[in-house]
Chain A
Amino acid sequence: MISRQRRPAAFAGALAAALGIVLSSTLAVQVPASAATVVKIGVDLPVSGADATNGIPTRNGVILAVEQANAKPMPGGLKFEVSSLDDAVQGVHDPAQGAQNVKTFIADAAVLGMVGPFNSNVAKAEIPLTNDAGLVQISPSNTNTGLTKGDDAKKLRTSHPDVNTYFRVCTTDDRQGAAGATFARKLNLKKAFIIDDNETYGKGLADVFESEFKKQGGSVLGHEHITKGQQDFKALLTKVHSANPDMIFFGGTTASGGGLVRKQMADVGMRDIKYVGGDGISDEEFTKETGDMANNSYYTVAAPETSKLPSAKAFVAAYKKRFNANPGPYSANSYAAAQVIIGAVLKGVKDGNGKTPTRLEVRQNVASTQNLDTPIGKIGFDRNGDTTAPILSFYSIKNGKPQFVNQINLKD
């Protein structure tokens, strides 16, 4: 009920948001372009604050894809440019800021497609806008099921219910939550207590985990929701401890409480209880914030471990060379998302005999993408906009470092 952003003065929030735009647009990453036709790819990710450890490596994936595309000669001297905006306000991803960023992209006629957002609740605020404008958007990491499937998805396509502008290259929480439950059962965990952050992503993931864990023979001792901005979890964890679980499942992100909950488990005598979560706690911030409590944590990621994937070898090498760092969990996904948009634009140029395609033509080409070679394998989209190659990987944290366990392709 008390939110970090909900300040006594409403105008102040608006002011902060406006300031955010000014700041983020000045920080926009510009890939130099020649005088010829410039096609911009919008990137909306949280690149400041606690979410930045996710956002920046993901943005780098797009930058790399664009730079590689520009290195090749293109019809009519076409050049791609990255236009990047930050959807974090005061260090945390913010749906209103995301929507504002999308409006900025829509207003810029040179933007023919966008990559993002990172977080599912931000996507919920953005999809109605891109749907209205016919601007295609591809998310590298949104896993909430309702964004593409069922009635929830229909409600988001407000202006054109039968035209889908939202695609994603990662798999969904109905699969991630189920995989998390399987993972937990494989670790021989039987009694789970579930905590989620009450956000689109966190609650969705936790609900799927709950029903799947029960189906697989586990028992769920309780399911609690925490509040945004909450700092004290001792009372909650005391309650959890008295239920005597052998694991806690956390649905949410490090920034929304995943780190603090894990850290405070030590204070109530639950140091050795296993902690399982989704990709929301897969960032470096989690191990940094929890210190030695990071051990005994397990999580799933809705993306492949690129270092183990033969198709990603060239990508990983190029990424390391360009950014002097290892790719993040979603760098390959955002690279693939950018590849899809670049491919769709180039196809449009070819089909139109050199004319720059419209946004709707680009969207059409994205929708019909099939078997495109990317670091994460051959990808395409189904009717809903979901990837046809859903890959999940599993990790455990040992000695303060994430260790890859294994990965599965759900198509196989």
Chain B
Amino acid sequence: MDVFLQQLINGLSLGGIYALIALGYTMVYGIIELINFAHGDVYTLGTFFSLAVLTLLGVSGELHGWPLIWISLVTIILAMLLCGLTGVLIERLAYRRLRNAPRLAPLITAIGMSFILENIMQYWKGPSPIPFPQVFPNPSFHAGRIDIAAKQILVVMLAVVMMVALQLFIYNTKLGKAMRATAQDRDAAQLMGININTTIALTFLIGSALAGAAGFVSGVYYGSTWFLNGFSAGLKAFTAAVLGGIGNLAGAMLGGFMIGLIEAMTTQFISDQWSNVVVFVVLVLVLIFRPSGLLGESLPNKV
């Protein structure tokens, strides 16, 4: 039982990272129906930006009290900002001109952007894994034989807070309304006076900023990063988005946590090497019975 609860915590924190990345995938897909393959690499870029900010601030080890709070805040905000801008830049350079092109064209440019980002990161920090400063002291909270690390709570909290904030933003603000309108019918939205380009750029800004936040927490959580991390994490996050129902924010979150949990439980009760197999078997089963994902609705006006 202890082990089960411990794995629950491991799974939730891993899932929190997937969920943060999945939010970006699902937002972009929801609005322009593009699978932004470069998104996973924007997440890795988030770790690299965080590392750069921490290096700039001269942080190399554990922090406590106020410095911990303000340095974490500064780092995460800068990482989010820089990643957000990268996202906007990617959209401007690689997707905007192809918005009305056949579906395959922006998909290929997305793969191209992914390669470009990976190679920029490899050039920047080299091809070896890079140690990330362990800024968070690691007090574990003990509950019986179960350990919960502060950084695990951070990951889960951040994912939930971001999702709720995003939900509020989309359903309660004018910009959010514009985003929803654009997602529903781009031409009609334009006729109603919504600036499509700005709205789509905003979507990329927010989605990529979330990837930046995920990048920071993953650096803190694992204590190391590598220029190719984004590939497999991005693939899992994309799976999470599809599992939860692509285009649906709560679904992305649910999918992320589910995949994290499936991985942890498979590792515990079957074997580590089977965890990916089980994840994708669950995905296939869900898609057979609910083609639009767990929380996705089949919208008649979309393909």
Contacts and interface: CB of A to CB of B under 8 A. Distances in A.
Interface of A: 1-2, 4, 7-9, 12, 48-50, 52, 88, 90-92, 198, 224-227, 229-232, 234-236, 238-239, 242, 255, 259-260, 263-264, 266-269, 285, 288-289, 291
B111 A12 contact: yes
Given A198-B273, A260-B224, A269 B232 contact: no
B277 interface: yes
Please report whether the interface of chain B is mostly helix, strand, loop or mixed according to DSSP: helix
A395 to B, nearest CB: 21
B128 A224 contact: no
> Which of B2, B231, B267, B275 has the most CB atoms of chain A within a 10 A radius of its CB?
B267
A235 B12 CA distance: 11
> Which of A52, A267, A268 has the most CB atoms of chain B within a 10 A radius of its CB?
A267
Contacts of B6: 238, 242
Contacts, number: 113
B21 to A, nearest CB: 13
B242 to A, nearest CB: 15
Interface in B81-128: 111, 115, 122, 126-128
B185 interface: no
B14 A234 contact: yes
Nearest to B233: A231
A236 B131 contact: no
A255 B131 CA distance: 13
A231 B232 contact: yes
B287 interface: no
Contacts of A229: 228, 231-232
Interface of B: 2-3, 6-7, 10-11, 13-14, 37, 111, 115, 122, 126-129, 131, 138, 140, 147, 149, 222-224, 226, 228-229, 231-233, 235, 263-264, 267-268, 271-273, 275-277, 280
Contacts of B280: 1
Given A198-B273, A234-B14, A285-B128, A90 B3 contact: no
B232 A2 contact: yes
Contacts of A268: 147
B111 A9 contact: yes
Given A4-B228, A90-B228, A235-B264, A225 B273 contact: yes
A260 B268 CA distance: 19
A8 B229 CA distance: 15
Given A239-B3, A255-B129, A264-B223, 14 more contacts: A2-B231, A7-B231, A9-B111, A49-B126, A88-B127, A225-B272, A225-B273, A232-B14, A234-B13, A235-B263, A235-B267, A238-B3, A239-B7, A269-B147
Given A12-B111, A242-B3, A267-B138, A2 B276 contact: yes
Given A1-B276, A235-B267, A236-B267, A91 B14 contact: no
Contact of A8 (B2, B3, B111): B111
A225 to B, nearest CB: 4
B122 A90 contact: yes
A259 B7 CA distance: 22
A363 B263 CA distance: 50
A263 B128 contact: no
B128 A50 contact: yes
Nearest to A49: B127
A90 B273 contact: no
A259 B268 CA distance: 21
A255 B37 CA distance: 25
A231 B222 contact: yes
A91 B224 contact: no
A288 B131 CA distance: 8
A227 B14 contact: no
Contact of B272 (A2, A227, A259): A227
Given A90-B228, A267-B138, A224 B129 contact: no
Given A289-B129, A289-B131, A226 B273 contact: yes
B223 A263 contact: yes
Nearest to B37: A8
A1 B229 contact: no
Contacts of A91: 122, 126-128
B224 A263 contact: yes
26 contacts: A2-B231, A4-B228, A7-B111, A12-B111, A12-B115, A50-B128, A52-B128, A88-B127, A91-B122, A92-B127, A198-B273, A226-B272, A227-B273, A227-B276, A229-B228, A230-B272, A231-B229, A232-B14, A234-B10, A235-B10, A238-B10, A239-B272, A263-B224, A269-B140, A288-B131, A289-B129
A9 B233 CA distance: 18
